[in-house]
A and B are shown apart, each in its own frame.
Chain A
Amino acid sequence: MAQNKKLQGLATQVREHIIEMSYGSKSAEIGSSLCIADILITLYFAILDIDPKQPERPDRDHFVLSKGHGAAAMYATMALRGYFPETELKRYRVDGGRFHCHPCRSASRGIEVSTGSLGHGLPIAIGMALTMKSEWPNKKVFVLVGDGECNEGSIWEAAMFASSHKLSNVVVIIDDNKFQGFGATDKVHPVDLSAIWTAFGWNVLEVDGHDIVLLEKVLLKAKRRRDRPTVVIAHTISGKGIPHIENTLGAHYYTPDEITYLASQHA
């Protein structure tokens, strides 16, 4: 119970950091970062076998943020996990800064893959998994993919490859926030993600992407699978934590105003 409360508190801190980073740099791409805070905190503090002091240790779990536009959440989570000081988050998207709004490997040790164009992270992660299957068979590659990102053909080319090669060391988490760049995801392509991933040969699990207890339980279950790759469809709320933008298309393009910023820092 105490562990759960601690993780929930950390997820709240991630959201506060995201709002501060966005407010400080007067930049958007906030909605799709806020919605993955619980997933990332669960991964970095309860699931991934990683060591911030030895980020390149070969026998580690890997995490790839395929939906690169959620990078603000990853930077904040990595800071809390000890990869770099929290004060470095002030260097997000500012002149002479350290962090772009999409991940760049050179920004910090521990960022496994540079992403930002959708549909790239999963194939790269599966390439890593192919090596790890023989060299570190007990380690996993976790990949966070957007629901809209599943529009890209490369996602399905990679999905087919992973199941053909029985890469049970791959766990995809889909941030199913129901929105993409220019519309609601079920309006652009009304498809049943669970059915499609099942048809591609994947083990499919679903979870509330904001329930840290359930997230931990489901991700541990996924981590234990040894027969085939697993996808966890995490149902999330775009803009989670800022009530007036939650579940809106505009959440992705929102930049916090002063009132929202101040409210978030005193929550």
Chain B
Amino acid sequence: MRNDFVKQTLLEMERNKNIIFLTGDLGYNALEPIQKTFPERFINVGIAEGNMLGLAAGLALSGKKVIAYSIASFLTMRPYEQIRSDICYDNLDVKLFGPGGGFNYPTHGHTHHTIEDVAIMNVLPNMKVVCPAYSWEAREATRTLIRHSGPTYMRLSKSPGVNYEKAGWKFELGKSYHIRNGKDVVLISTGNILDVVMATANLIEKKSGKKVGVISMPSLKPIDDKLIKHLAKTCSLICTLEEHSIIGGLGSIVSNILSQSQCASRLKVFGIPDRFIKDVGSRDYLLAKIGLEPKTLSAKIIRLLN
């Protein structure tokens, strides 16, 4: 997914000479093509995220479009006040791209587990929040966000092996994508946990015979509230799944919409429980530890369906 971001960014920087790229000393073995192609517009700010986002605000105020890059946890949490007060308050044209969303740096420990980013970015006025699931979404979202005017945040993770795009799809902010249809239960997911969600859907169908729909929602702010309201009237069970805290992410956003709608659906939120995950292991290991894996998820959802 990071390579999709880099490839699309190269195209955008070629197209728009006004783009400045800042990195907080990260991107080894990934950002070199941008550095080599646009050395005058690529700046390694150093390990100084607060300064990087302050600089980004200043560059944007003086007419530049700015891309700021660092590991997602450092990018969103360390300079949070700069993002809120310097960038979002004045709706400045700064784009945040953070690799390592969720448990994508699994054995790096708590400082690299990015499980609150959607919550803290979503709460900021003017901010747009996108979590692509796989290669197509990442590439298309990169283009859309860079061409958008105003602050944006995109969480980058590792793509699942499968690409799910269909002919004619076009990425838009606030749009969702039906990966598969099914009305007994609809699973809504955001980000690269989509592969777990697809495997879960297969298991539910196999074990219960129920028809399972899967929707990918890479755009969390704005979100496809029209579709969520429609599902609330037509589907008896909606499940949200995300590699993010159960507080403040996709589940909370959907819950908020449903609470203010005519709703015939039940909602079940699956995500990372409200505690720090101190276990050591791979992403799959950590997801299994907290029950975000197909066998556990499918069993829980089948129980809800019955």
A and B associate in one complex: yes
Determine whether the beta carbon of B51 is less than 8 Å from that of A104: no
Among B109-117, B165-173, B244-252, the one that faces the other chain is B109-117
Q: Which residues in B have their C-beta under 8 angstroms from that of A249?
A: 28
Determine whether the beta carbon of A153 is less than 8 Å from that of B48: yes
Encoded as 1 (CB less than 8 Å from any A CB) or 0, chain B from 232 to 251 comes to 00000000000000000000
- Tell me which of A91, A93, A102, A148 contacts B25 (CB under 8 A): A148
Measured in the bound complex, the distance between the Cα atoms of B112 and A102 in whole Å is 9
Flag whether A138 is at the interface (Cβ < 8 A): no
Q: Which residues in B have their C-beta under 8 angstroms from that of A106?
A: 278
Flag whether B74 is at the interface (Cβ < 8 A): yes
Which residues of chain B in 43-72 are interfacial with respect to chain A, using CB atoms and an 8 Å cutoff?
44, 46-48, 50-51
Q: Total A-B residue pairs with C-beta atoms closer than 8 Å?
A: 95
Encoded as 1 (CB less than 8 Å from any B CB) or 0, chain A from 101 to 130 comes to 111101000000011111100000000000
- Total interface residues on A, CB under 8 Å, equals 38
Flag whether B300 is at the interface (Cβ < 8 A): no
Among B12-20, B206-214, B264-272, B280-288, the one that faces the other chain is B280-288
A100, A106, A151, A180 interface centre (most CB from chain B within 10 Å): A100
Encoded as 1 (CB less than 8 Å from any B CB) or 0, chain A from 48 to 78 comes to 0000000000000000000010000000000
Among A32-40, A181-189, A216-224, the one that faces the other chain is A181-189
Determine whether the beta carbon of A95 is less than 8 Å from that of B281: yes
Measured in the bound complex, the distance between the Cα atoms of B51 and A189 in whole Å is 14
Flag whether A152 is at the interface (Cβ < 8 A): yes
Determine whether the beta carbon of B111 is less than 8 Å from that of A97: no
- Tell me which of B27, B50, B78, B111 contacts A116 (CB under 8 A): B111
Determine whether the beta carbon of B111 is less than 8 Å from that of A102: yes
- Tell me which of B29, B48, B107 contacts A151 (CB under 8 A): B48
Measured in the bound complex, the distance between the Cα atoms of B25 and A117 in whole Å is 13
Q: Which residues in A have their C-beta under 8 angstroms from that of B28?
A: 181-182, 249-250, 252-253
Measured in the bound complex, the distance between the Cα atoms of B112 and A114 in whole Å is 12
Measured in the bound complex, the distance between the Cα atoms of B50 and A148 in whole Å is 15
Q: How far is the CB of B28 from chain A (nearest CB, A)?
A: 6
Q: Which residues in B have their C-beta under 8 angstroms from that of A235?
A: none
Flag whether A94 is at the interface (Cβ < 8 A): yes
Q: How far is the CB of B33 from chain A (nearest CB, A)?
A: 13
Determine whether the beta carbon of A117 is less than 8 Å from that of B73: yes
- Tell me which of B27, B51, B107 contacts A27 (CB under 8 A): B107
Determine whether the beta carbon of A149 is less than 8 Å from that of B47: yes
Determine whether the beta carbon of A97 is less than 8 Å from that of B280: yes
| Residues of B contacting A: mostly | loop
Determine whether the beta carbon of B107 is less than 8 Å from that of A183: no
Determine whether the beta carbon of A182 is less than 8 Å from that of B111: no
Flag whether A98 is at the interface (Cβ < 8 A): yes
Which residues of chain A in 164-189 are interfacial with respect to chain B, using CB atoms and an 8 Å cutoff?
180-183, 188-189
Determine whether the beta carbon of A152 is less than 8 Å from that of B48: yes
Flag whether A99 is at the interface (Cβ < 8 A): yes
Contact status of A68 and B111, CB under 8 A, knowing A153-B50, A182-B27? yes
A91, A148, A153, A253 interface centre (most CB from chain B within 10 Å): A153
Measured in the bound complex, the distance between the Cα atoms of B111 and A76 in whole Å is 21
Interface residues on B, range: 20 to 34
| Residues of A contacting B: mostly | loop
Q: Which residues in B have their C-beta under 8 angstroms from that of A25?
A: 107
Which residues of chain B in 92-131 are interfacial with respect to chain A, using CB atoms and an 8 Å cutoff?
107-112
Measured in the bound complex, the distance between the Cα atoms of B25 and A149 in whole Å is 10
Q: Which residues in B have their C-beta under 8 angstroms from that of A96?
A: 279-281, 285
Q: Which residues in A have their C-beta under 8 angstroms from that of B279?
A: 96
Residue in B closest to A115 when the chains form the complex, CB atoms: B111
B46, B47, B108 interface centre (most CB from chain A within 10 Å): B47
Contact status of A93 and B110, CB under 8 A, knowing A180-B47, A183-B44? no
Q: Which residues in A have their C-beta under 8 angstroms from that of B74?
A: 117
- Tell me which of A148, A152, A182 contacts B23 (CB under 8 A): A182
Q: Which residues in B have their C-beta under 8 angstroms from that of A97?
A: 107, 280-281
Q: Which residues in A have their C-beta under 8 angstroms from that of B107?
A: 25, 27, 93-94, 97, 100-101
Flag whether B197 is at the interface (Cβ < 8 A): no
Q: Which residues in B have their C-beta under 8 angstroms from that of A117?
A: 73-74, 78, 111
A-B pairs, 5 with minimum CB distance = A116-B111, A100-B109, A151-B46, A97-B280, A95-B281
**Please, could you name 12 A-B residue pairs with CB atoms under 8 Å apart, sorted by A?**
A97-B280, A102-B111, A102-B112, A114-B110, A116-B112, A152-B48, A180-B46, A181-B27, A181-B28, A182-B26, A182-B27, A253-B29
| Residues on B facing A (Cβ under 8 Å) | 23, 25-29, 31, 44, 46-48, 50-51, 73-74, 78, 107-112, 278-282, 285
Extra 10 A-B pairs, beta carbons < 8 Å, given A25-B107, A104-B109, A151-B25: A93-B107, A94-B107, A95-B285, A102-B112, A103-B109, A116-B108, A117-B111, A152-B48, A181-B47, A182-B27
